[in-house]
């Protein structure tokens, strides 16, 4: 329960979100989104929500990133924005 | 005073029961028309069954179901409804006979559909005549609009379609836009019932402004009464076959319109309330305007049926004007005029149809000297026009007399002048036809061949109606009696 | 469009920020949410009533078990929805099971590594499912890990090999059976005459007293969740990675 | 036994869906039979629930999931709550689902090749979700069920052609925004009250008298925004027309009548049960007037957009947008008449939309043309179908024997009572526009030249044209149509008793 | 860090910082959902939007001085030793009295588990739909799709 961590992670979260939305390479965007999920999972572990953190680690950083990358592979990789 | 009875229901339902039979006999025209006749006679018989009771001043009454809180489907037969039902159903028989002659004479198509819709619209008319509350009235009014649409657009060509479009848009639009909210307003105002008992809104504290708005909403909403500016459906509906124009647009539909207005005046508002609020004069001036304008328009029409249509608009406004005078004579006169004008005008329409069947002429300018070819028809035409103008030995005089008395009784001299002017105008657009038909030299084409009347099936009804309008001059007591039941 | 979107977003953000003004402080232990009887009941009574130290599992599987059943149904819907939208069945149904010559999959090193770690992943996943009462985890997390292990298998050795273990038909059966276990357990309570998902009546069926009955029932329910989640995770991946053709993976 | 009805209504279709998936693709007919049986049982149960609630023994069924008792006056677990309103809506939902299953018998084979079981499973799960939404008494559980309905409808719509997929994607975006807004609102309520049970939240708000809190107001606004997005209230209606017009026909037929109506029910529920009369209609917030005007806008715009369409289904979808305007306005009038009218309109509109959509799908299927001129001469070619269509259309216009007239009656009375004349005028305007729309169609169907019939002077004369063949669709589609149109008339006939039940139930809440 | 600054931050920034960040993240996600042109980007925005809401919920349940919501016996015994060792009762008593300030509020966690599941389900389904769109339109850019539909009469 250390609020310094909290604040730092939150700031990083915002940065990660913006980067993943600004990248024109969808694969990279998906990767950065995975990082985002991992950060938010850290945040929840730090807030004491261990189950949520566990789930987010498994789902957000794991499966949803994988299926997103799978989609990017089977469609187009570059986007206009 | 009021007693429960099933007869109104049967009277309403008999022509409805005729419909499946007509459909059943679609392939056998004689049986089909036979069914129609049967229904018509049964209907008239029941009405005659009720007549004596009504004349004793009883009010027959029937209700079932309560479709909305406090509003059942309710039939209530009083003098006014009786008179209207009597006229409509008796003329239905004649019209059936006439339409047999007309339709077969012209080899029209879809006669089954024609007779079906005819029967439905008649039962809807009876429903309106016997309606015991506003909602019942409204429902049958809408059914009438819908069931006459196929009749108006019978020919199905472009002109008929556009005519039908005007017809439906005017009637349905006004009724939904004006009548429905006004009706709901009365419903809420009275706290949950809208029966026609005298002075029913009198009990509520309604102020003149709201009252005027509601009154106008009703008067314009029942656009079947042809009050300007919602009159234009009537000339356009003349594309229909002549029997339709005859019964529906001289008797049933338009008279339903004015009938509803009379109901609103006497039943929903009540004469006392209107006198208290002093708002009816607005309606009477609108009616007066309509009278004059329509007569002037009629002058310029060359198509005979259109001319008749415009004269109908004017005559209907007589009725509204009469009832809006709020004087006993005025109301009696307008109720009488419902019957008298019906006889006269249906005669005229029958004659127009007969001329069309026999000679295929529909324009006034073509009728020069036609009296030599079809004297009987044109004599009936003369009688009908006398009745509509309101000249002696025809019933038109009686009702018009009462109307004029009404204006005098309520010291509306200006309206008296309106009546006189409009009578002169009526004379101006009817008498020349008769004159030229009999006393002008026709072109040569009319000489060869002797008399060339329409088939008997057409001829008999128009003679009867002409006779009726003469009889109703010498013996109008029945109608007066029925009309005065409303006054007291 | 962009301007419109920006305005809408700014309005929404302004509304939400204005609302945060009268929130109780973050980390405040006396905020209405934290000292409300509901959450205090969960914290104080859970272990006594269900013998489950992990409150989250208890609340998830017992107090709000109805929610969790529908959560599982949501996963199920996603799975069959993806098939309904994306899958295109070409040829006979059984053809999706047949083994192809798998020239797919990744390099040798990756395969060896995977074959080394896969057993541990799966064992750990089962542990997470079973031990969810006492430690973070539960049916959902374990199921996801189990499904991820199959995804890893498909990545390393090719989809067809993974389908050999976990064919499409089998995924559907697993998914349906998982919810069957969950809802069926609730219906069992119904048959015993109490409310749906009221595990306390099952103590006559299960070893131990009422509390243990609740605890065991939670375990069973979690296993049901794990079934569904495993199957659906794998079928999600296999459909999305092959555009619904299920012939060869990435 | 009665006390278990609410959960049984949900469980039967749930198991039905699982069985259908287990049956697999080889046995489409058994899938159909299964879903027919399960939905039939479920609608029977819901009918008995209506009877039970009406019979007066139980004013409302409350069902505690897991049987957890309340502690200190707060619900610990999740609670179902079925009063007469919920019972009626649930009955409507299950019944429409059942009838639509009959309709889908032939269509499902044709339109979703080889994916029949998935269609039936998703359909039953959608019914489950809708029933759950109506019955639940827990704010978060409501969110989960909303998501269930949303996911199933995304999938069902996207099973159609490519246009359907695209509009389904828009629906995903809009629907997620809506549901998430609802979730935010619930979160704000939770942070203020600490509970999720609807009645408890209402109680706590009343106790703390925290009506004027900024966060409560924001919560209300966001919940409303979310619900409006899901029900396609006018400015937020963008996703609806394409989604329902391009979806597979048997999907559109039962999604169009149900989804928006159930969300309207949720709105009324949230307004009266969750926040309460005092908060919603109190004079200190301007939103009352504002939302009435928004609904007027919705009605007018929806009608005009429908008038501008030549595609039948598109036209009907825009009419739905207008109808949603009716109900929102009626619910916000602030008097019992208006609310009850809006609620009665939920039922009647479900019935008539169902009727119209089935008729339209049949016609599009048979004629193979989705524009208005598909109707040419249909009164001769498909009389039975046109009869059904006519009933629905007359009800949409609002002519007496049908239920549309009575719902308009109640709504207009509510408007007059509240003195909201603009709303009354909007209602009348829209019914006039509907009259124009539908009589345009009737004229075509009545006089339109029939293809393949020799052009004589009277194209509509059956006596003159013996070579007009009557071509109707199979009974599996006509029976649902007639059931729907019969329901339209039945609702109209028994409107009075329905209205009184609804009124009494609502009076209790407004007191 | 300088203690004054630290206290200042703890007084004024911390109490609402989570809520601010959650609003900012949500705005980012919403903006992406509305205005982004690429469908995958829209979906990433959607995921961010949903995680932001989850962040809000989890922040609601946090208490200072509270650990994870799992009752650990030796932990509570420890607390017994440290704090009120006066009445060192049997473990039964210790079980009975549980200080609820020592444990985070479990309810939001449960709700958010469900929310995460819903999120991933929506994401998967939406990805499937976007793949179908790509299959039939050959692109994932919204404007190109609409341009392709234009002659077909798109409204």
Which residue ranges make up each domain of chain C? 53-241
Res. E76 pLDDT band, cuts 50 70 90: very low
How many percent of chain C have pLDDT more than 90? 34
List Cα–Cα distances, B275 to B279, B310, B431, D500, in angstroms: 8, 31, 39, 38
ipTM for the predicted complex comes to 0.88
Plot region of C91 (φ>0 → left; ψ -120 to 50 → alpha; else → beta): left
Residue C245 has pLDDT above 70, yes or no: yes
Res. B244 pLDDT band, cuts 50 70 90: confident
Q: Residue D298's pLDDT is what?
A: 94
Q: Average model confidence (pLDDT) for chain B?
A: 84
How large is the angle between the packed helices B456-474 and B395-409, nearest 10 degrees?
40
Q: Name the residue in chain C with its Cα closest to that of D116.
A: C84
Res. B453 pLDDT band, cuts 50 70 90: confident
Q: Average model confidence (pLDDT) for chain D?
A: 87
pLDDT tens profile C40-97? 888 888 888 888 888 888 888 888 989 999 999 999 999 999 999 988 776 444 444 4
What's the whole-number mean pLDDT along residues A1-9? 79
Q: Are D319 and D372 in contact (CB under 8 A)?
A: no
Q: Are D412 and D402 in contact (CB under 8 A)?
A: no
Q: Are C229 and C147 in contact (CB under 8 A)?
A: yes
Chain D nearest-CA distance from B255, in A, is 22
Q: Residue E93's pLDDT is what?
A: 47
Residue C99 has pLDDT above 80, yes or no: no
Q: Which helix (H) or strand (E) holds B71?
A: strand B71-77
Q: Are B208 and B274 in contact (CB under 8 A)?
A: no
- Kindly report the pTM of this predicted structure: 0.90
Q: Average model confidence (pLDDT) for chain E?
A: 79
Q: Residue E27's pLDDT is what?
A: 92
Q: Residue D393's pLDDT is what?
A: 92
Single out the residue of B295, B449, B437, B426 nearest to residue B355, CA to CA. Answer: B437
pLDDT tens profile B127-149? 999 888 888 899 899 999 888 88
Whole-angstrom distance, CA of residue A56 vs CA of residue A41: 6
A48 contacts in chain C (CB < 8 Å): none
Whole-angstrom distance, CA of residue E106 vs CA of residue B403: 88
Res. A1 pLDDT band, cuts 50 70 90: low
E strand map for chain E: none
Q: Residue C232's pLDDT is what?
A: 93
Q: Name the residue in chain C with its Cα closest to that of E14.
A: C26
Res. C101 pLDDT band, cuts 50 70 90: very low
Chain E nearest-CA distance from D344, in A, is 32
When comparing pLDDT for B338 and B440, which is higher?
A: B338
Alpha helix locations (H) across D112-213? 116-135, 139-158, 162-193, 198-208
Q: Residue B445's pLDDT is what?
A: 64
Res. B335 pLDDT band, cuts 50 70 90: confident
Give the max Cα distance, chain C: 65
Record: contact C13-E129, CB cut-off 8 A: no
Residue E81 has pLDDT above 50, yes or no: no
Whole-angstrom distance, CA of residue D222 vs CA of residue B382: 77
Res. D392 pLDDT band, cuts 50 70 90: very high
What's the whole-number mean pLDDT along residues D88-101? 93
Whole-angstrom distance, CA of residue D295 vs CA of residue D306: 16
Interface of chain C against chain A, CB under 8 Å? Answer: 27, 54, 56-57, 128, 136-138, 140-141, 144-145, 147-148, 151, 233, 236-237, 240-243, 250
Q: Name residue, tokens 């189950």.
A: A51
Q: Residue B448's pLDDT is what?
A: 63
Residue B446 has pLDDT above 70, yes or no: no
List Cα–Cα distances, E121 to B141, C82, C133, D167, D345, in angstroms: 56, 10, 25, 19, 34
Q: Which helix (H) or strand (E) holds B68?
A: strand B59-68
Q: Is B385 helix (H, G, I), strand (E, B) or coil?
A: helix
Whole-angstrom distance, CA of residue D433 vs CA of residue D309: 13
**Range of the structural domain that residue E110 is part of:** 3-64+103-149
Q: Residue D469's pLDDT is what?
A: 64
When comparing pLDDT for B235 and E92, which is higher?
A: B235
Whole-angstrom distance, CA of residue C187 vs CA of residue E21: 44
pLDDT tens profile C16-55? 888 887 888 777 777 888 888 888 888 888 888 888 888 8
Chain C nearest-CA distance from A1, in A, is 9
Chain D nearest-CA distance from B376, in A, is 34
Q: Are B84 and B42 in contact (CB under 8 A)?
A: no
Of B186-200, B347-361, B416-430, D128-142, the range with the lowest mean pLDDT is B186-200
B151 contacts in chain D (CB < 8 Å): none
Residue D34: CB atoms within 10 Å: 24
How many percent of chain D have pLDDT more than 70? 94
Record: contact A70-C138, CB cut-off 8 A: no
Res. E155 pLDDT band, cuts 50 70 90: very low
Touching pair A, E by Cβ (3+ pairs < 8 Å) = yes
What's the whole-number mean pLDDT along residues E60-87? 62
- Count of B-D CB contacts under 8 Å: 76
Question: In the structure encoding, which two tokens stand for residue D70, read together?
Answer: 């309340």
Q: Name residue, tokens 């064992």.
A: C123
Does some domain include residue E80?
no
Whole-angstrom distance, CA of residue D86 vs CA of residue D80: 10
C94 touches D: beta carbon within 8 Å: no
Interface test with C, best of A67, A68, A69, A73 (most C CBs within 10 A): A67
Which CATH number do you get for residue E29? Answer: 1.10.287.3510
What's the whole-number mean pLDDT along residues D144-162? 92
What's the whole-number mean pLDDT along residues E62-75? 74
Alpha carbon B412 to chain centroid, angstroms:
26
How large is the angle between the packed helices D162-193 and E142-149, nearest 10 degrees?
140
pLDDT tens profile D203-255? 888 887 767 788 888 999 999 999 999 998 988 888 899 899 899 888 989 89
Q: Residue B331's pLDDT is what?
A: 86
Plot region of E72 (φ>0 → left; ψ -120 to 50 → alpha; else → beta): beta
Chain A nearest-CA distance from C34, in A, is 14
When comparing pLDDT for D378 and D47, which is higher?
A: D47
Q: Residue D383's pLDDT is what?
A: 84
Question: In the structure encoding, which two tokens stand for residue C186, read together?
Answer: 């609730």
A2, burial (CB in 10 Å: exposed 0-12, middle 13-18, buried 19+): exposed
């Amino acid at each position: 329960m250390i609020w310094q961590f909290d604040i730092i992670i939150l700031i990083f979260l915002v940065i990660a979100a913006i980067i993943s939305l600004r990248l024109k390479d969808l694969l990279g965007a998906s990767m950065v989104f995975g990082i985002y999920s991992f950060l938010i999972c850290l945040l929840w572990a730090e807030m004491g929500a261990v189950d949520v953190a566990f789930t987010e680690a498994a789902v957000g950083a794991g499966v949803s990133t994988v299926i997103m990358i799978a989609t990017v592979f089977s469609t187009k990789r570059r986007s206009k924005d | 005073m009021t007693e429960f009875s099933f007869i109104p229901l049967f009277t309403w339902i008999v022509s409805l029961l005729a419909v499946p039979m007509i459909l059943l006999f679609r392939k056998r025209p004689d049986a089909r028309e036979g069914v129609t006749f049967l229904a018509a006679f049964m209907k008239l018989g029941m009405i005659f069954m009720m007549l004596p009771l009504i004349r004793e001043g009883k009010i027959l009454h029937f209700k079932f179901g309560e479709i909305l809180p406090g509003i059942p489907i309710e039939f209530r037969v009083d003098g006014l409804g009786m008179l209207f039902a009597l006229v409509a159903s008796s003329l239905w028989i004649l019209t059936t006979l006439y339409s047999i002659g007309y339709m077969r004479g012209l080899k029209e198509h879809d006669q089954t559909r024609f007779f079906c819709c005819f029967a439905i619209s008649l039962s809807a008319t009876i429903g309106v005549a016997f309606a015991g509350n506003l909602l019942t009235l409204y429902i049958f009014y809408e059914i009438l609009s819908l069931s006459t649409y196929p009749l108006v657009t019978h020919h199905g060509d472009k002109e008929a379609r556009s005519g039908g479009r005007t017809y439906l848009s005017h009637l349905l639009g006004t009724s939904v836009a004006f009548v429905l909210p006004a009706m709901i307003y009365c419903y809420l105002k009275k706290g949950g019932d809208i029966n026609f008992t005298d002075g029913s809104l009198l009990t509520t504290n309604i102020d003149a402004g709201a009252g005027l708005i509601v009154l106008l909403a009703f008067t314009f909403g029942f656009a079947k009464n042809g009050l300007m500016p919602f009159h234009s459906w009537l000339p356009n509906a003349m594309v229909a076959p002549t029997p339709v124009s005859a019964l529906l647009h001289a008797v049933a539909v338009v008279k339903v319109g004015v009938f509803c207005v009379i109901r609103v005046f006497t039943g929903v508002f009540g004469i006392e309330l209107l006198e208290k609020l002093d708002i009816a004069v607005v309606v009477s001036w609108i009616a007066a305007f309509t009278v004059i304008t329509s007569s002037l328009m009629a002058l310029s029409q060359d198509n005979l049926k259109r001319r008749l249509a415009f004269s109908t608009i004017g005559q209907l406004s007589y009725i509204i004007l009469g009832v809006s005078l709020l004087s006993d004579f005025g109301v009696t006169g307008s109720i009488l005029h419902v019957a008298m004008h019906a006889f006269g005008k249906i005669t005229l329409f029958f004659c127009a149809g007969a001329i069309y069947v026999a000679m295929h002429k529909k324009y006034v300018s073509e009728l020069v000297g036609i009296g030599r070819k079809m004297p009987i028809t044109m004599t009936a035409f003369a009688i009908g026009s006398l009745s509509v103008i309101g000249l002696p030995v025809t019933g038109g005089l009686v009702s018009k007399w009462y109307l004029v008395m009404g204006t005098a009784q309520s010291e509306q001299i200006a309206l008296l002048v309106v009546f006189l002017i409009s009578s002169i105008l009526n004379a101006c657009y009817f008498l020349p036809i008769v004159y030229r038909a009999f006393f002008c030299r026709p072109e040569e084409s009319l000489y060869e061949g002797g008399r060339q009347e329409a088939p008997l099936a057409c001829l008999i009804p128009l003679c009867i109606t002409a006779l009726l309008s003469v009889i109703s001059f010498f013996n109008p007591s029945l109608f007066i009696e029925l009309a005065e039941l409303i006054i007291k | 469009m962009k301007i419109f979107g920006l305005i809408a977003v700014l309005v929404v953000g302004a509304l939400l920020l204005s609302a945060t003004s009268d929130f109780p402080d973050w980390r405040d232990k006396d905020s209405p949410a934290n000292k409300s009887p509901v959450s205090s009941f969960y914290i104080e009574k859970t272990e006594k009533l269900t013998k489950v130290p992990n409150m989250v599992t208890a609340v998830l599987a017992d107090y709000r078990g109805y929610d969790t059943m529908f959560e599982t149904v949501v996963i199920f819907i996603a799975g069959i929805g993806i098939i309904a939208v994306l899958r295109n069945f070409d040829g006979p149904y059984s053809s999706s099971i047949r083994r192809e010559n798998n020239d797919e999959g990744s390099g040798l090193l990756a395969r060896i590594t995977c074959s080394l770690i896969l057993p541990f992943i799966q064992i750990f996943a089962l542990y997470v499912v079973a031990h969810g009462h006492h430690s973070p985890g539960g049916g959902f997390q374990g199921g996801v890990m189990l499904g991820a292990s199959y995804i890893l298998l498909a990545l390393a050795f090719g989809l067809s090999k993974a389908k050999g273990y976990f064919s499409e038909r089998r995924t559907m059966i697993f998914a349906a059976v998982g919810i069957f276990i969950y809802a069926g357990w609730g219906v069992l309570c119904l048959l015993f005459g109490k409310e749906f998902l009221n595990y306390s009546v099952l103590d006559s069926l299960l070893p131990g007293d009422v509390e243990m009955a609740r605890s065991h029932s939670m375990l069973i329910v979690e296993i049901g969740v794990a079934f569904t989640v495993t199957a659906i995770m794998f079928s999600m991946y296999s459909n999305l990675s092959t555009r619904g053709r299920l012939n060869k993976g990435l | 036994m009665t006390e278990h009805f609410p959960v049984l209504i949900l469980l039967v279709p749930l198991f039905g869906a699982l069985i259908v998936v287990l049956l697999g693709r080889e046995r489409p007919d058994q899938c159909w039979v299964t879903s027919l049986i399960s939905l039939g049982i479920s609608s029977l149960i819901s009918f008995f629930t209506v009877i039970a609630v009406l019979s007066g023994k139980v004013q409302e069924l409350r069902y505690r999931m897991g049987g957890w008792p309340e502690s200190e006056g707060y619900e610990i677990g999740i609670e179902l709550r079925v009063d007469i309103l919920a019972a009626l809506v649930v009955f409507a939902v299950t019944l429409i689902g059942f009838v639509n299953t009959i309709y889908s018998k032939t269509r499902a084979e044709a339109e979703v090749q080889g994916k029949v079981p998935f269609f039936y499973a998703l359909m039953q799960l959608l019914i489950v979700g809708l029933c759950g939404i109506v019955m639940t008494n827990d704010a978060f559980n409501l969110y989960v069920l909303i998501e269930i309905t949303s996911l199933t409808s995304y999938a069902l719509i996207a099973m159609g052609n490519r246009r359907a997929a695209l509009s389904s994607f828009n629906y995903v975006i809009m629907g997620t925004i809506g549901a998430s807004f609802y979730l935010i609102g619930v979160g704000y309520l939770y942070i203020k009250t600490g509970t999720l049970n609807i009645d408890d939240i209402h109680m706590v708000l009343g106790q703390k008298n925290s009506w004027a809190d900024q966060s409560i107001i924001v919560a209300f606004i966001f919940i409303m925004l979310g619900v409006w997005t899901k029900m396609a209230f006018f400015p937020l209606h963008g996703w609806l027309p394409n989604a329902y017009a391009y979806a597979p026909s048997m999907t559109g037929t039962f999604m169009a009548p149900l989804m928006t109506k159930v969300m309207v029910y949720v709105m009324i529920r949230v307004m009266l049960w969750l926040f309460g009369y005092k908060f919603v209609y109190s004079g200190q917030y301007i939103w009352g007037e504002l939302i009435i005007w928004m609904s007027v806008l919705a009605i007018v715009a929806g009608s005009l957009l429908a008038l501008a369409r030549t595609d039948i289904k598109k036209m009907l979808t825009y009419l739905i947008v207008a109808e949603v305007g009716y109900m929102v306005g009626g619910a916000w009038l602030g008097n019992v008449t208006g609310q009850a009218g809006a609620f009665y309109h939920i039922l009647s509109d479900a019935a008539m939309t169902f009727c119209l959509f089935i008729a339209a799908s049949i016609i599009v299927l048979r004629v193979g043309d989705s524009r208005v001129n598909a109707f040419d001469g249909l009164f001769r070619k498909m009389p039975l179908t046109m009869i059904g269509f006519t009933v629905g259309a007359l009800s949409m216009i609002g002519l007496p024997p049908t239920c549309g007239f009575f719902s308009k009656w109640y709504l207009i009375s509510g408007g007059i009572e509240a003195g909201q004349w603009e709303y009354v005028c909007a209602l009348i305007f829209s019914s006039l526009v509907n009259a124009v729309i539908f009589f345009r169609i009737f004229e075509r169907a009545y006089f339109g030249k029939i293809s393949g019939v020799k052009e004589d002077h009277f194209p509509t004369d059956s006596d003159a044209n013996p070579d007009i063949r009557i071509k109707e669709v199979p009974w599996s589609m006509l029976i649902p149509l007639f059931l729907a149109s019969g329901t339209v008339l039945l609702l109209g006939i028994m409107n009075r008793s329905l209205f009184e039940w609804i009124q009494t139930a609502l009076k209790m809440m407004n007191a | 860090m300088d203690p004054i600054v630290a206290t200042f931050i703890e007084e004024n920034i911390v109490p609402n910082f989570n809520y601010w960040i959650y609003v900012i993240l949500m705005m980012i996600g919403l903006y992406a959902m509305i205005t982004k042109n690429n469908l995958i980007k829209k979906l990433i925005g959607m995921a961010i939007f949903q995680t932001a809401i989850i962040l809000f919920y989890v922040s609601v349940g946090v208490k200072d001085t509270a650990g994870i919501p799992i009752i650990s016996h030796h932990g509570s015994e420890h607390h017994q030793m440290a704090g009120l060792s006066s009445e060192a009762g049997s473990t039964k008593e210790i079980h009975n009295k549980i200080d609820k300030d020592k444990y985070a509020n479990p309810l939001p966690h449960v709700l958010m588990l469900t929310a995460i599941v819903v999120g991933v389900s929506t994401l998967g389904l939406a990805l499937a739909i976007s793949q179908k769109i790509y299959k039939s339109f050959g692109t994932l850019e919204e404007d190109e799709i609409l341009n392709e539909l234009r002659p077909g009469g798109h409204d």
